[in-house]
Structure 1
Amino acid sequence: MNKLFLSIVFILIGSFINAQEVEIKDDKVLLDGTPILKYEKINILQHSFYSIESDDEILLFKWHDNETSQYNEDDYIILNFLTAKVKVETTSVEHVISGLGMNSKKNMQKLVKWLIKEKVLDSKGNLNPEKLQTFYDKYNEDITQRTSR
């Protein structure tokens, strides 16, 4: 019993120590207070992330309601990694939605945390091509390909 309790305590402490703070402030994405990306909210459904050094657009995020605005069960997100020419379409919206889902800044912070956790982005805001391929294999559902219009 004591070993189980100590194991749980160490796991919880480790998760707090390794937790990185992601914040969007003044159109910049900050990781533990250090700018790693530039951020632009295009509208409530589209957001762009840019390289700090080169100003290249790295990621375009889009929320797609599948043309059924009153029905949420078929909504999905599109993560277009522009510099890598990789597009991920996924219904795994829980990785992005923060709280009630209405605060787009908090949602984008959660998106960046997800990409860092999956090691798609490193601590300097650079894309990792190998991890991006793993992310693509893990989450891409080719929704546009399998949806007839």
Structure 2
Amino acid sequence: MNITDGALGDSGLPRRVLLVDDSVDAAEAMSMLLETLGHEVRVMHDGPSALAMVDEFAPEVVILDIGLPGMNGFEVARDLRTRDVTKSALLIALTGYGADSDRQKAHDAGFDHHLVKPVSFTAIETVIIDKFSQA
């Protein structure tokens, strides 16, 4: 499955996606790929900025780096899980931290998935499809 085969459209998508990564280039590239699938994407580069816009945007999917300025991704995820608007959102950790202890911290913070960079776009696409094709 790839971005040209229409898989997301077949699953009742697109979705509102919040992408939070302090790497501007990586965030821009991922945003463009997500938008080619029809998703509405907002990009933020730090935790406080992401949290400031969550209630207005109401993301259904949050792709979140762990190593962020201002507050780390674990802190952001814990905050998102306390808000009505994001308590059931799909939270995906997209990070360079791949140790078992990092995966456990992500789970404890409320992430649904923990993907280690570099990750293929197909892996992200699959996680989103799996979540929303069950709904």
TM-score, structure 2 normalization: 0.32
Bigger Rg, which one: 1
Higher helix residue share: 2
The higher-RCO structure (CA 8 Å, 6+ apart) is 2
TM-score, structure 1 normalization: 0.30
Higher strand residue share: 1
